[in-house]
Chain A
Amino acid sequence: SQTIHQWPATLVQPVGSPLSLECTVEGTSNPNLYWYRQAAGRGLQLLFYSVGIGQISSEVPQNLSASRPQDRQFILSSKKLLLSDSGFYLCAWNGKISGSPNDFGPGTRLLVL
């Protein structure tokens, strides 16, 4: 069966520090992968999506970047975190419906202080 993993589950980082969040999918090949951020009182905001290794599309200009070094691995990074980067980061893939981001990981809760 297919499973999506994210880590870490929670993270507290100081302003200006770097960030690396990882997402992996098991049991499939060539998934479409997505990074979302969910801030309090706001809907899920699409940050990046990828249809293949090295192929990244950015949806929102921001302090973050994404990379896909392997078929089933998606990494969200930042060189210097801002307070506004705090939120719940979710990785998703098109598990149940072709093309659509519909199967979400457990999320990473990031607090920037």
Chain B
Amino acid sequence: QKEVEQDPGPLSVPEGAIVSLNCTYSNSAFQYFMWYRQYSRKGPELLMYTYSSGNKEDGRFTAQVDKSSKYISLFIRDSQPSDSATYLCAGASGTYKYIFGTGTRLKVLA
């Protein structure tokens, strides 16, 4: 079992839809979680960083962590074609060794 799992997609949604991207993880010691956006052939870009359980909102993005079920989510409101990318989740028990999922490819259709 991989430590962090994501559905690879692709996930296709119409412009303006609310997108829900999800990850599960197996290591109960994880306390730090990140979401990245990666465009094709580019380096990942940090979107959200959360510590422990709860929600965090930044503009159109909301990150949610449920440690009891080992489930993390990223919601994108009012999705745009420019949001089309691969989204990576990552978790860590300490501050440096993050374990990444393989990414979910998102397509927002105009």
Contacts and interface: CB of A to CB of B under 8 A. Distances in A.
A100 B43 contact: no
A43 B102 CA distance: 4
Nearest to A4: B43
Interface residues of B, number: 25
Nearest to A105: B43
Nearest to B6: A43
A98 interface: yes
A54 B36 CA distance: 29
Given A43-B88, A106-B42, A109-B41, A100 B102 contact: no
A109 B2 CA distance: 25
B103 A43 contact: yes
A49 interface: yes
Given A100-B34, A106-B43, 20 more contacts: A34-B96, A41-B8, A42-B102, A43-B2, A43-B100, A44-B44, A46-B97, A49-B96, A49-B97, A92-B43, A96-B46, A100-B96, A101-B96, A101-B98, A102-B34, A102-B49, A103-B46, A104-B43, A104-B44, A105-B43
B41 to A, nearest CB: 7
Contacts of B72: none
A107 interface: yes
Interface residues of A, number: 25
B44 A97 contact: no
Interface of A: 32, 34, 41-46, 49, 59, 90, 92, 96-107, 109
A43 B43 contact: no
7 contacts: A43-B101, A97-B49, A100-B32, A101-B96, A101-B98, A107-B41, A109-B41
B4 interface: yes
B99 interface: yes
Contacts of B92: 100
B45 interface: yes
A96 B43 CA distance: 15
